[in-house]
Structure 1
Amino acid sequence: MISVEEAKRNILSSLKPVSTETVPITQACGRTLAEDISARRTQPPADLSAMDGYAVRAADISAVPVTLEVIGESAAGSSFEGRVEKGQAVRIFTGAPLPAGTDTIVIQENTEQSKSAVIIKQTAHKGTYVRGAGIDFNEGQTGLERGKKLTPRDVGFLAAMNIPWVTVHRRAKIALLSTGDELVRPGEPIGANQIISTNSLVVAAMIEAAGGEAIDLGIAKDNESSLRQMASGALSADMLVTLGGASVGDHDLVQSVLGKDGLEIDFWRIAMRPGKPLMFGDLNGTPMIGMPGNPVSSMICSFIFLMPALDILMGRPPSSPPIVPAILSHDLSENDRREDYMRAKIVGEKDGLPVVELFSSQDSSLLSTLSAATCLVKREPFAKALKKGSVVGIIHLQNSYPGC
């Protein structure tokens, strides 16, 4: 068995980003930039007023009260075309450009207005309530860098920079192949010895939430011809993920069958709980991850290995969820040689840290505890027993993984 870190390193080092495409910014959210983006305009393009009031020369209002002649008006979308001289002012509204000659805004609350004049009752320093030209960004300035996963905020930034189209990495296509005679889809007739197939649905949801494209190839039966035929559907995908069939039993056929079709195995067992029978290899140029069949194992392995792999494929730095301290609400026994990811829930807070309670059963078939879990307690190999109140490292599920 190899360590979790070595397995992760082997997977990520073998991958490269998928090809790119150009899309309108309306379709860019969640995609990863394939090139730096430079602004096509200066924002704001001129000095603008940040408030409703009067545009004045600061030199004219050093002593107040003072009466200034109002010679015009400037509103957003229009401008005052003349020049403001000594003793003059222009009525101005939020977002309007400052008239030539002015450098300061006096808000209307600090004035007394008449038809053609305004009394300034409170002084203001030069530049007060002025949004200077280029205060946000300037034409030619790099606004967003290659490798950035675009957020809704970034879409607004792109629009402000006058960028209607962007070149991004296309959505990576991940083919999912479930295996096992015992599996049926939700809602289908179910035999006495069968169970509902859940793994592909869970992993597909994670892939889609992370910006990838999940391709469900279906459920292969436990025979060579079925597995070979259905795996051929991954030829156009960027990665094949098998779910089940990666262990050492007589009916776990993935390695033996696909090995005849060109599958080259890098590793197939790791020192991890849950998830020991994880497999990684290359099927005729297509990276392949073989997930364990137990649902908790496949989901946690997807957290640890598939999500950062998807990041690489989509042209961004691999994700690494933060491990934060928490306090145990009970004693915890020592760990063995495998790195452990234990389902837990946050039940309170103490000294500014979350208090966590592990589920009594960590069986890797229990989806109810996986659904109820709010975090994973990570334990290193051979970790010593801990008493109630000890500090452990946890990974927040909702904050660390897309859609979780």
Structure 2
Amino acid sequence: MALLPLAEAQARLLALASPLAIEQAPLHQAAGHWAAEPIAALRTQPSRNLSAMDGYAIAHTDLPGPFDLIGESAAGRPYVGSLGPGETVRIFTGAAMPAGADCVLVQEEARADGKRIHLDGEGPGNPGRNVRRAGLDFDEGDVLVDAGERLTPARIALAAVGGHAALPVRRRVRIAIAATGDELRPAGATVGDGELPESNGVMLSALLADLPVDVIDLGILPDRLEALRDAFAGAEADILVTTGGASVGDHDLVRPALEAAGASIDFWRVALRPGKPMLAGRIGDGVVVGLPGNPVSAFVTATLFVRPLVAHLSGAADPLPTLGEAVLGEALPANGERTDYLRARRIDGRVHVAAIQDSSMLRTLARADCLVHRDPHAPPASVGDSVRILDLA
């Protein structure tokens, strides 16, 4: 069976499901979601002209003064009257400009003589100087966040200032995670010869922690077809993620168990290193993604497939990971037929690839802060060459 190219596999996975239903999330619960619809301003910011400096609100035509001090304007406590010729109001940063004033004489260029304010410097050079005009940030009706953009802390703050208390998002994604293998034992348990602490479940939960997901832990499933089938069929989730048992050995039962549970497999085996023996398909109303059991392979395939699938279901405009650029710290040989992701670390402005890339070596992954991307059949690369990287930091 021919291996499926990485980009084609990612496209086919995302095509298996559509974004989830829209709901309103309170601002304090919106972080990590993507905007399901354009978010427009419900108000103008600032709603009126404000002072950008501490000083004195004046009419530019009254320069060079002097000015009669008639009141004060502070943030939240505006001066309610208007200025007449030769008059000024003491004003503070963020305070509303009084009627009749069109600029601010900063306090460093002013000298007070009782209620008489004198120019003691160059003064504001033009009307509007040291003033934040109404609508400087945005006007009512302006789109503040486009549909499909991630709701970052800054965008949530922007929406709050724009008048919103809740935002349209896709509902949280339900993800069921199952580890398979008779050799696995719960983390922290005593392990015997040939046994192994299970790490993929906690790793995947941590990898998805910044996304709008609810994780359902199916625990460790034994290498028995009936047990796997029943667990898979009973998983009520938008995404079922399995780890291990997806290869071609006698004990690799995930694919037949999924099919026995009613799943339809869309693809199996991707031209990817690490992570070739992964699969994807539909089961019930959700998507199933079968990841390899080796922890590094599970991490890489989850980064390239599971996280983008969550982003897609959550309405992200660009769900696939973005590659950056870096300078290579040592030579690399030509690549083979599969897309390669090499564990690497930045040192002194260059990326250095780990000498051993075996997919069972979790310590190497833990020390890496990026993955060097190598296209299929990429030619040899030299020290100082530019390479594409997937940032893990």
TM-score, with normalisation over the residues of structure 2?
Answer: 0.94
The answer as to whether partners of 1:20 and 1:168 remain within 8 angstroms in 2 is: yes
CA RMSD for the aligned pairs?
A: 1.7
Structure 2 residue 78 is the aligned partner of structure 1 residue 79? yes
Equivalent residue for 2:54? 52
User: Whole-Å Cα distance in 1 between the matches of residues 392 and 257 of structure 2?
Assistant: 35
Equivalent residue of 2:348, what SS?
A: strand
Shift in Å at residue 394 of structure 1?
A: 2.5
Q: Using the alignment, how far apart are the partners of 1:81 and 1:359 within structure 2?
A: 68
How many pairs align? 388
The one-letter code of the counterpart of 1:378 is H
- For 1:50 and 1:389, the matched residues in 2 are separated by 48
After TM superposition, give the deviation of residue 6 of structure 1 in Å.
Answer: 1.3
Q: How big is the shift at 1:279?
A: 0.6
Q: Any residues of structure 2 matched to 1:109-120 within 5 Å, and which?
A: 109-120=108-119
Match in the other structure for 1:321: 322
Q: SS of the residue aligned with 2:240?
A: strand
Change (3 A) 1:259 1:78: same
In structure 2, do the counterparts of structure 1 residues 110 and 385 end up closer, same or farther at CA, with 3 Å as the change threshold? closer
Aligned match of 2:103:
104
Deviation at 1:387, TM superposition (A): 4.4
Residue in structure 1 matched with residue 297 of structure 2 by the alignment: 297
Cα deviation for residue 390 of structure 1 reads 4.2
1:214: Cα distance to partner? 2.0
Where in structure 2 are the equivalents of 1:203-352 lying within 5 Å?
203-235=204-236, 237-317=237-317, 318-329=319-330, 331-349=331-349
Using the aligned pairs only, state the percent identity: 40
User: Partners in 2 of 1:395 and 1:145 — Cα distance?
Assistant: 25
Distance 1:380 1:119 in 2: 70
1:212: Cα distance to partner? 2.2
1:366 counterpart = 2:361: yes
Separation of aligned partners in 2, 1:251 and 1:177: 16
Partner-residue secondary structure (3-state), 1:209: coil
Aligned match of 1:37 in 39, 46, 50? 39
Q: Report matched runs for 1:4-15 at 5 Å.
A: 4-15=6-17
**CA distance 1:371–1:138, change in 2 (3 Å):** same
Matched, 1:68 2:67: yes
CA deviations on 1:76-118 (whole Å, 9 max, x unpaired) are: 2222222212121122222221111111110111111122211
Please, which moves more after superposition, 271-280 or 204-213? 204-213
Asked if the contact 2:238–2:285 (Cα under 8 Å) also holds between the matched residues in 1, the reply is no
Q: Name the amino acid aligned to 2:358.
A: D
Select which of 16, 19, 33 maps to 1:17. 19
Q: Which of the residues 370, 373, 379 maps onto 2:374?
A: 379
CA distance in structure 2 between the aligned counterparts of 1:152 and 1:323, rounded to whole angstroms: 23
> Which one-letter code corresponds to 1:51 in the other structure?
M
Residues in 2 aligned to 1:390 and 1:24: alpha-carbon distance in whole angstroms: 47
Who is 1:130 aligned against? 131
Q: What SS does the aligned partner of 1:167 have? A: strand
Unaligned runs of 5+ in 2: none
The residue identity in structure 1 corresponding to 2:228 is L
Counterpart for residue 148 of structure 1: 149
